[in-house]
Amino acid sequence: MQSSEFGRMVRRWRDRVAPEAVGLPSGGHRRAMGLRREELAGLAGISADYLTRLEQGRATSPSAQVVESLARALRLTDADRELLYQLAGHAAPGRDVVPTRIPPSVQRLLDRLAHTPVAVLDATNTLLVANAPYDALMGETSRLRGLDRNALWRHLVGSGSRTAFSVTEQAQFEAGLVADLRMTAARYPADRTLRRLIAELRGHSARFVELWDSPDTDTPHDTARRKVIEHPVVGRITLDCDTLIVAADDLRIMVYTAEPGTDDAERLALAIVLGTQTLVE
């Protein structure tokens, strides 16, 4: 890895990103020309200390996941993204790997929905990015690390979520996620990260083994449904959860909304206000 050049390029790109371009407030006294170091670290889901060491060339060999997170947070073009991978000693992911890049068109959609809970997941249902209203509704996603960012792992093995399911709904949800993962594995048989995810799930969840080995689990979960969220402050919120498929990039965009004028809409608005206030304190 060309560690010093990698760090210099990250710093150079950080300086050219305006805070408002990534949904951050631009007011107040700012010494940094663009993003502050802690702002970029937060957007990329890494610690500010680790980013400091990367920029100073003291940390070497960042993972491909870290490189992709930095490229996404910095809104890099395709050419700059490939350069960042090269400087980190990695090849940019090819077509045989599950895509994790968020294209500019999807990023613009996220920017337009800045006041609506939205999350973007890859084809394995691993969380790539979520906006502040989503964090306010579902809990701060920056705390999710490693396998816990994957929906199947989180529900079968890990920390769970705020979604409240009946027993039947839970079974259908799990079966649908496994069906999704099976189809993804068929599309990307050479993806080693995907194979490791499946192996970890098989090693830690008897429920996953049961569903994965069942010939009947072949229907993906619905792309539009209602969900009940157990919010720790405002209580239960029943929302429409629509999953939009970006076919060209094999991404899933989850959008949570409530019918205007309803109690659920009021509770959702309150949850977002309370959560985003907490996030910026």
Query: Residue 192 belongs to what domain range?
Result: 104-280
Position 218 scores a pLDDT of: 63
Let me know whether 141 and 37 are in one domain: no
Please tell me whether the overall predicted TM-score, pTM, comes out greater than 0.75 for this model. Answer: yes
- How many domains does the chain divide into? 2
Residues 33 and 160 in one domain: no
Q: For the segment 5-56, what is each residue's pLDDT rounded down to a tens digit?
A: 999 999 999 999 988 877 777 666 666 678 999 999 988 888 999 999 999 9
- Residue at a domain's end among 29, 61, 87: 87
User: Residue 106's closest CA among 1, 255, 212?
Assistant: 255
* pLDDT higher than 90, residue 261: yes
Shared-domain flag, residues 16 and 120? no
Structure token digits, residue 130? 């979520």
Q: Does one domain contain both 200 and 243? A: yes
Query: Measured between alpha carbons, how far is 112 from 129 in angstroms, rounded to an integer?
Result: 15
Do the domain assignments include residue 114? yes
Residue 149 belongs to a domain: yes
Q: Residue 217 and residue 96: Cα distance in Å, rounded?
A: 24
Report the mean per-residue pLDDT for the chain: 90
Nearest CA-CA partner of 5 in 93, 101, 83? 83
| Digit-coded pLDDT (tens) for 111-133 | 899 999 999 999 999 999 999 99
Establish if 33 belongs to a structural domain: yes
Do residues 78 and 119 share a domain? no
In a domain, 136, yes or no: yes
